Protein backbone atom coordinates (compact mmCIF):
# COMPACT_ATOMS: atom_id res chain seq x y z
CA UNK A 1 0.00 0.00 0.00
CA UNK A 2 1.45 3.39 -0.95
CA UNK A 3 2.45 5.87 1.72
CA UNK A 4 -0.47 8.25 1.13
CA UNK A 5 -3.08 5.52 1.58
CA UNK A 6 -1.34 4.26 4.73
CA UNK A 7 -1.34 7.76 6.22
CA UNK A 8 -5.06 8.16 5.52
CA UNK A 9 -5.70 4.77 7.13
CA UNK A 10 -3.61 5.83 10.12
CA UNK A 11 -5.63 9.03 10.50
CA UNK A 12 -8.86 7.02 10.33
CA UNK A 13 -8.04 4.45 13.00
CA UNK A 14 -6.41 6.91 15.41
CA UNK A 15 -9.56 9.07 15.54
CA UNK A 16 -11.76 8.85 18.65
CA UNK A 17 -15.19 7.87 17.27
CA UNK A 18 -17.13 5.23 19.21
CA UNK A 19 -20.77 4.51 18.39
CA UNK A 20 -22.82 7.69 18.62
CA UNK A 21 -19.73 9.93 18.48
CA UNK A 22 -18.61 9.57 14.85
CA UNK A 23 -18.50 13.28 13.94
CA UNK A 24 -14.70 13.56 13.68
CA UNK A 25 -14.16 10.45 11.55
CA UNK A 26 -17.06 11.54 9.34
CA UNK A 27 -15.31 14.84 8.62
CA UNK A 28 -12.02 13.09 7.85
CA UNK A 29 -13.69 10.50 5.62
CA UNK A 30 -15.72 13.08 3.67
CA UNK A 31 -12.70 15.35 3.19
CA UNK A 32 -10.88 12.44 1.52
CA UNK A 33 -13.94 11.59 -0.58
CA UNK A 34 -14.18 15.19 -1.78
CA UNK A 35 -11.00 14.60 -3.79
CA UNK A 36 -12.72 12.32 -6.32
CA UNK A 37 -16.48 11.94 -5.74
CA UNK A 38 -19.36 13.84 -7.33
CA UNK A 39 -20.46 15.09 -3.92
CA UNK A 40 -20.37 14.20 -0.23
CA UNK A 41 -22.76 14.79 2.65
CA UNK A 42 -23.85 13.58 6.08
CA UNK A 43 -27.33 12.79 7.37
CA UNK A 44 -29.12 13.50 10.63
CA UNK A 45 -27.85 10.26 12.21
CA UNK A 46 -24.24 10.93 11.23
CA UNK A 47 -23.84 8.55 8.29
CA UNK A 48 -21.28 9.86 5.77
CA UNK A 49 -21.88 9.58 2.01
CA UNK A 50 -19.87 9.92 -1.19
CA UNK A 51 -21.43 9.25 -4.58
CA UNK A 52 -19.82 8.38 -7.91
CA UNK A 53 -21.72 8.69 -11.20
CA UNK A 54 -24.82 10.03 -9.47
CA UNK A 55 -27.83 9.43 -11.69
CA UNK A 56 -26.40 6.17 -13.03
CA UNK A 57 -28.26 2.89 -12.74
CA UNK A 58 -28.61 0.67 -10.83
CA UNK A 59 -27.87 2.24 -7.43
CA UNK A 60 -25.14 0.33 -5.57
CA UNK A 61 -24.43 0.92 -1.89
CA UNK A 62 -21.01 0.15 -0.41
CA UNK A 63 -21.08 0.22 3.39
CA UNK A 64 -18.35 0.13 6.03
CA UNK A 65 -19.13 1.25 9.56
CA UNK A 66 -17.09 4.11 11.00
CA UNK A 67 -17.80 3.51 14.67
CA UNK A 68 -15.76 1.52 17.16
CA UNK A 69 -16.37 0.12 20.60
CA UNK A 70 -15.63 2.55 23.41
CA UNK A 71 -16.50 3.69 26.91
CA UNK A 72 -18.82 6.37 28.28
CA UNK A 73 -18.33 8.35 31.48
CA UNK A 74 -21.39 7.81 33.69
CA UNK A 75 -20.41 9.17 37.12
CA UNK A 76 -17.79 11.33 38.84
CA UNK A 77 -17.27 10.68 42.54
CA UNK A 78 -16.27 13.23 45.19
CA UNK A 79 -12.59 12.38 44.80
CA UNK A 80 -12.65 12.87 41.02
CA UNK A 81 -12.60 9.21 39.98
CA UNK A 82 -14.72 8.35 36.92
CA UNK A 83 -17.14 5.46 36.53
CA UNK A 84 -17.86 4.25 33.01
CA UNK A 85 -20.06 1.94 30.94
CA UNK A 86 -19.23 0.05 27.74
CA UNK A 87 -20.22 1.25 24.29
CA UNK A 88 -20.50 -1.95 22.27
CA UNK A 89 -19.23 -5.42 23.09
CA UNK A 90 -16.23 -5.50 25.43
CA UNK A 91 -14.21 -8.22 27.12
CA UNK A 92 -13.70 -6.38 30.45
CA UNK A 93 -10.57 -8.43 31.15
CA UNK A 94 -8.58 -6.27 28.71
CA UNK A 95 -9.33 -3.04 30.59
CA UNK A 96 -7.44 -3.04 33.92
CA UNK A 97 -4.22 -1.04 33.69
CA UNK A 98 -5.01 0.43 30.27
CA UNK A 99 -4.56 4.09 29.41
CA UNK A 100 -7.62 5.82 27.93
CA UNK A 101 -8.26 8.91 25.87
CA UNK A 102 -11.42 10.78 26.90
CA UNK A 103 -12.91 13.26 24.45
CA UNK A 104 -14.13 16.06 26.71
CA UNK A 105 -15.02 19.74 26.72
CA UNK A 106 -11.36 20.84 26.63
CA UNK A 107 -10.16 18.29 24.11
CA UNK A 108 -8.59 14.95 24.95
CA UNK A 109 -7.84 14.01 28.56
CA UNK A 110 -5.62 11.02 29.32
CA UNK A 111 -6.59 8.67 32.12
CA UNK A 112 -5.82 5.17 33.38
CA UNK A 113 -8.19 2.32 34.23
CA UNK A 114 -7.78 1.44 37.88
CA UNK A 115 -8.51 -1.71 39.85
CA UNK A 116 -7.66 -2.98 43.32
CA UNK A 117 -4.09 -4.46 43.21
CA UNK A 118 -3.92 -8.24 42.93
CA UNK A 119 -2.07 -8.34 46.28
CA UNK A 120 -5.24 -7.11 48.01
CA UNK A 121 -7.71 -9.37 46.22
CA UNK A 122 -9.14 -12.31 48.11
CA UNK A 123 -8.31 -15.74 46.68
CA UNK A 124 -11.83 -16.16 45.29
CA UNK A 125 -11.77 -12.67 43.75
CA UNK A 126 -8.65 -13.56 41.77
CA UNK A 127 -10.53 -16.38 40.05
CA UNK A 128 -13.41 -14.20 38.91
CA UNK A 129 -13.67 -12.15 35.71
CA UNK A 130 -13.47 -8.45 36.52
CA UNK A 131 -16.72 -6.50 36.20
CA UNK A 132 -17.17 -2.94 34.99
CA UNK A 133 -18.38 -1.78 38.39
CA UNK A 134 -15.06 -2.93 39.85
CA UNK A 135 -13.10 -0.57 37.59
CA UNK A 136 -12.70 3.20 37.41
CA UNK A 137 -10.77 5.83 35.46
CA UNK A 138 -8.17 8.00 37.18
CA UNK A 139 -7.31 11.27 35.40
CA UNK A 140 -5.28 12.65 38.29
CA UNK A 141 -8.04 15.02 39.42
CA UNK A 142 -7.85 16.52 42.91
CA UNK A 143 -11.60 16.11 43.46
CA UNK A 144 -14.95 16.14 41.67
CA UNK A 145 -14.80 19.88 40.96
CA UNK A 146 -11.37 19.53 39.39
CA UNK A 147 -12.48 16.57 37.26
CA UNK A 148 -15.55 18.46 36.03
CA UNK A 149 -13.31 21.15 34.56
CA UNK A 150 -12.28 18.57 31.96
CA UNK A 151 -14.91 15.82 31.92
CA UNK A 152 -18.71 15.76 31.55
CA UNK A 153 -21.16 12.94 32.04
CA UNK A 154 -21.62 11.19 28.70
CA UNK A 155 -18.13 11.92 27.36
CA UNK A 156 -16.77 9.08 25.19
CA UNK A 157 -13.44 7.37 25.71
CA UNK A 158 -11.27 4.84 23.88
CA UNK A 159 -8.14 2.94 24.80
CA UNK A 160 -4.94 4.85 24.13
CA UNK A 161 -3.55 2.82 21.21
CA UNK A 162 -2.40 4.07 17.80
CA UNK A 163 -1.75 2.58 14.36
CA UNK A 164 1.48 0.54 14.47
CA UNK A 165 3.10 -1.23 11.49
CA UNK A 166 4.23 -4.81 12.16
CA UNK A 167 6.37 -7.17 10.10
CA UNK A 168 5.35 -8.55 6.71
CA UNK A 169 2.72 -5.96 5.77
CA UNK A 170 0.70 -6.47 8.96
CA UNK A 171 -0.44 -3.59 11.15
CA UNK A 172 -2.00 -3.26 14.61
CA UNK A 173 -4.50 -0.65 15.77
CA UNK A 174 -7.37 -0.04 18.16
CA UNK A 175 -10.22 0.59 15.74
CA UNK A 176 -9.72 -1.63 12.70
CA UNK A 177 -13.27 -2.89 13.48
CA UNK A 178 -14.52 -1.35 11.36
CA UNK A 179 -12.59 1.72 10.38
CA UNK A 180 -10.87 -0.47 7.78
CA UNK A 181 -14.29 -1.21 6.25
CA UNK A 182 -15.06 2.49 5.90
CA UNK A 183 -11.56 2.95 4.45
CA UNK A 184 -12.01 0.11 1.93
CA UNK A 185 -15.40 1.21 0.57
CA UNK A 186 -13.97 4.66 -0.08
CA UNK A 187 -10.92 3.14 -1.78
CA UNK A 188 -13.21 0.94 -3.89
CA UNK A 189 -15.27 3.96 -4.95
CA UNK A 190 -12.08 5.84 -5.83
CA UNK A 191 -10.87 2.98 -8.02
CA UNK A 192 -14.29 2.48 -9.62
CA UNK A 193 -14.54 6.17 -10.49
CA UNK A 194 -11.78 5.58 -13.07
CA UNK A 195 -13.52 2.55 -14.63
CA UNK A 196 -16.44 4.30 -16.36
CA UNK A 197 -19.13 2.60 -14.25
CA UNK A 198 -22.73 2.47 -15.47
CA UNK A 199 -24.09 2.25 -11.92
CA UNK A 200 -24.40 5.02 -9.37
CA UNK A 201 -22.02 4.05 -6.59
CA UNK A 202 -22.82 5.26 -3.07
CA UNK A 203 -19.99 4.73 -0.58
CA UNK A 204 -21.31 5.06 2.96
CA UNK A 205 -19.46 5.30 6.24
CA UNK A 206 -22.24 4.01 8.48
CA UNK A 207 -22.68 4.76 12.18
CA UNK A 208 -23.69 2.85 15.30
CA UNK A 209 -23.13 -0.64 13.89
CA UNK A 210 -21.65 -1.82 17.18
CA UNK A 211 -24.93 -1.13 18.98
CA UNK A 212 -27.35 -2.60 16.45
CA UNK A 213 -26.65 -1.84 12.75
CA UNK A 214 -28.50 1.44 13.23
CA UNK A 215 -26.77 3.57 10.60
CA UNK A 216 -27.06 0.91 7.91
CA UNK A 217 -30.83 0.70 8.44
CA UNK A 218 -31.39 4.41 7.89
CA UNK A 219 -28.81 5.01 5.15
CA UNK A 220 -29.97 2.05 3.07
CA UNK A 221 -33.58 3.22 3.37
CA UNK A 222 -32.54 6.65 2.13
CA UNK A 223 -30.45 5.45 -0.83
CA UNK A 224 -32.91 2.68 -1.79
CA UNK A 225 -30.18 0.63 -3.53
CA UNK A 226 -30.75 -2.31 -5.83
CA UNK A 227 -27.38 -3.79 -4.84
CA UNK A 228 -25.46 -3.52 -1.58
CA UNK A 229 -22.03 -4.70 -0.46
CA UNK A 230 -21.01 -4.42 3.17
CA UNK A 231 -17.38 -4.55 4.25
CA UNK A 232 -16.54 -5.58 7.80
CA UNK A 233 -13.87 -7.52 9.64
CA UNK A 234 -13.97 -11.28 10.11
CA UNK A 235 -12.23 -13.79 12.36
CA UNK A 236 -8.76 -14.89 11.28
CA UNK A 237 -8.12 -18.41 12.56
CA UNK A 238 -4.36 -18.61 11.92
CA UNK A 239 -3.23 -17.93 15.50
CA UNK A 240 -2.55 -20.30 18.43
CA UNK A 241 -5.66 -21.64 20.11
CA UNK A 242 -7.89 -21.12 17.06
CA UNK A 243 -7.62 -24.63 15.65
CA UNK A 244 -11.01 -25.79 16.95
CA UNK A 245 -12.62 -22.49 15.88
CA UNK A 246 -11.97 -23.36 12.22
CA UNK A 247 -14.89 -25.77 12.44
CA UNK A 248 -17.15 -22.85 13.38
CA UNK A 249 -15.92 -19.96 11.23
CA UNK A 250 -13.60 -21.51 8.64
CA UNK A 251 -9.89 -21.69 7.85
CA UNK A 252 -9.13 -17.99 7.42
CA UNK A 253 -5.56 -16.67 7.13
CA UNK A 254 -4.01 -13.22 7.01
CA UNK A 255 -2.80 -12.07 3.60
CA UNK A 256 -4.81 -14.68 1.70
CA UNK A 257 -7.34 -12.16 0.40
CA UNK A 258 -10.97 -11.14 0.97
CA UNK A 259 -13.41 -13.29 2.90
CA UNK A 260 -16.44 -13.59 0.60
CA UNK A 261 -19.50 -14.63 2.59
CA UNK A 262 -21.97 -17.22 1.31
CA UNK A 263 -25.35 -17.96 2.90
CA UNK A 264 -28.92 -16.69 3.35
CA UNK A 265 -27.79 -13.11 4.07
CA UNK A 266 -26.08 -13.10 0.67
CA UNK A 267 -27.61 -12.88 -2.80
CA UNK A 268 -26.33 -16.01 -4.59
CA UNK A 269 -25.84 -14.28 -7.94
CA UNK A 270 -23.88 -11.46 -6.34
CA UNK A 271 -21.74 -14.05 -4.56
CA UNK A 272 -21.05 -15.76 -7.89
CA UNK A 273 -20.19 -12.41 -9.47
CA UNK A 274 -17.73 -11.57 -6.69
CA UNK A 275 -16.04 -14.97 -7.03
CA UNK A 276 -15.87 -14.84 -10.84
CA UNK A 277 -14.46 -11.30 -10.68
CA UNK A 278 -11.81 -12.41 -8.18
CA UNK A 279 -10.78 -15.22 -10.51
CA UNK A 280 -10.75 -12.96 -13.57
CA UNK A 281 -8.63 -10.30 -11.85
CA UNK A 282 -6.40 -12.90 -10.15
CA UNK A 283 -7.35 -11.67 -6.69
CA UNK A 284 -6.91 -14.27 -3.93
CA UNK A 285 -10.04 -14.91 -1.89
CA UNK A 286 -11.44 -17.05 0.91
CA UNK A 287 -15.04 -18.23 1.23
CA UNK A 288 -16.80 -17.76 4.56
CA UNK A 289 -19.89 -19.82 5.36
CA UNK A 290 -22.58 -17.64 6.97
CA UNK A 291 -25.61 -19.86 7.69
CA UNK A 292 -27.87 -17.15 9.14
CA UNK A 293 -28.31 -13.40 9.23
CA UNK A 294 -24.89 -11.90 9.92
CA UNK A 295 -24.15 -9.39 12.66
CA UNK A 296 -23.03 -6.88 10.04
CA UNK A 297 -24.45 -4.03 7.99
CA UNK A 298 -25.20 -6.62 5.28
CA UNK A 299 -28.10 -7.84 7.41
CA UNK A 300 -29.71 -4.41 7.59
CA UNK A 301 -29.09 -3.66 3.89
CA UNK A 302 -30.58 -6.96 2.67
CA UNK A 303 -33.83 -6.37 4.54
CA UNK A 304 -34.32 -2.73 3.52
CA UNK A 305 -37.66 -1.86 1.89
CA UNK A 306 -38.57 -4.71 -0.48
CA UNK A 307 -35.10 -6.27 -0.27
CA UNK A 308 -31.64 -5.64 -1.71
CA UNK A 309 -29.24 -7.97 -3.54
CA UNK A 310 -26.56 -7.99 -0.85
CA UNK A 311 -23.00 -9.20 -0.48
CA UNK A 312 -20.59 -9.26 2.43
CA UNK A 313 -16.82 -9.08 2.15
CA UNK A 314 -14.80 -9.34 5.33
CA UNK A 315 -11.23 -8.43 6.18
CA UNK A 316 -9.36 -11.13 8.14
CA UNK A 317 -8.74 -9.70 11.61
CA UNK A 318 -6.83 -11.03 14.59
CA UNK A 319 -7.78 -10.14 18.19
CA UNK A 320 -11.14 -8.50 17.39
CA UNK A 321 -12.56 -6.04 19.95
CA UNK A 322 -9.19 -5.65 21.61
CA UNK A 323 -6.83 -2.65 21.63
CA UNK A 324 -4.44 -4.46 19.28
CA UNK A 325 -6.48 -5.73 16.35
CA UNK A 326 -4.28 -6.87 13.45
CA UNK A 327 -4.96 -6.80 9.70
CA UNK A 328 -2.90 -7.34 6.55
CA UNK A 329 -2.57 -4.22 4.40
CA UNK A 330 -2.46 -6.32 1.24
CA UNK A 331 -5.90 -7.70 2.09
CA UNK A 332 -7.28 -4.16 2.19
CA UNK A 333 -5.90 -3.41 -1.27
CA UNK A 334 -7.29 -6.64 -2.70
CA UNK A 335 -10.75 -6.07 -1.27
CA UNK A 336 -10.94 -2.54 -2.68
CA UNK A 337 -9.80 -3.86 -6.06
CA UNK A 338 -12.34 -6.71 -6.00
CA UNK A 339 -15.25 -4.43 -5.14
CA UNK A 340 -14.26 -1.82 -7.72
CA UNK A 341 -14.05 -4.33 -10.58
CA UNK A 342 -17.30 -5.99 -9.49
CA UNK A 343 -19.40 -2.81 -9.34
CA UNK A 344 -17.88 -1.53 -12.59
CA UNK A 345 -19.24 -4.64 -14.32
CA UNK A 346 -22.84 -4.12 -13.14
CA UNK A 347 -25.45 -2.40 -15.28
CA UNK A 348 -29.23 -2.43 -15.67
CA UNK A 349 -29.08 -5.77 -17.45
CA UNK A 350 -27.39 -7.53 -14.56
CA UNK A 351 -29.90 -9.98 -13.08
CA UNK A 352 -29.79 -10.70 -9.36
CA UNK A 353 -33.05 -12.67 -9.09
CA UNK A 354 -32.14 -16.14 -7.70
CA UNK A 355 -33.00 -18.86 -10.19
Q: Evaluate the omega torsion of the peptide bond into residue 58 and state whether it is cis, within 30 degrees of 0.
A: yes
pLDDT of 208-248, one tens digit each?
999 999 999 999 999 999 999 999 999 999 999 998 899 99
State the average pLDDT over residues 171-175: 97
What does the pLDDT read at residue 116?
A: 78
Task: Place 117 in a pLDDT band, splitting at 50, 70 and 90.
Answer: confident
Helix (H) or strand (E) holding 126: helix 123-127
Domains and CATH numbers, the chain: 3-68+174-344 (3.40.630.10), 70-159 (2.40.30.40)
Say which of 187, 209, 210, 325 is annotated catalytic. Answer: 209
The dihedral built from the CA positions of residue 219, 27, 67 and 204, taken in this order, carries a sign that is: positive
d(CA 308, CA 198): 18
> Is 90 exceeded by the pLDDT of residue 119?
no
> Which pLDDT band, with edges at 50, 70 and 90, does 292 fall under?
very high
Judge whether 209 counts as a catalytic residue.
yes
The dihedral region occupied by 97, where left means phi > 0, alpha psi between -120 and 50, and beta the remainder, is left
Contact 39, 55 (CB under 8 A): no
Residues 51-76, mean pLDDT to the nearest whole number: 98
User: For residue range 120-169, what is the model confidence (pLDDT) as tens digits?
Assistant: 677 777 778 788 988 999 999 999 999 999 999 999 999 999 999 999 99
Amino acid sequence: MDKGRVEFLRKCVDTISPSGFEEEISRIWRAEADKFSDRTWADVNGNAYAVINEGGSPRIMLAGHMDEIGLMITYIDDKGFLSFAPIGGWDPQVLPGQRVRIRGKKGVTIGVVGRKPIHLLEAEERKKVVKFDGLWIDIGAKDKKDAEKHISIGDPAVLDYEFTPLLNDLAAARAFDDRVGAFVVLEAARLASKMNPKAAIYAVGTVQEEIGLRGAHTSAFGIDPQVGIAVDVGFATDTPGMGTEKKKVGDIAMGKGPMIARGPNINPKLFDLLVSTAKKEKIPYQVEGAPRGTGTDANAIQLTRAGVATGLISIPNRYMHSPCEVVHLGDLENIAKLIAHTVASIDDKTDFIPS
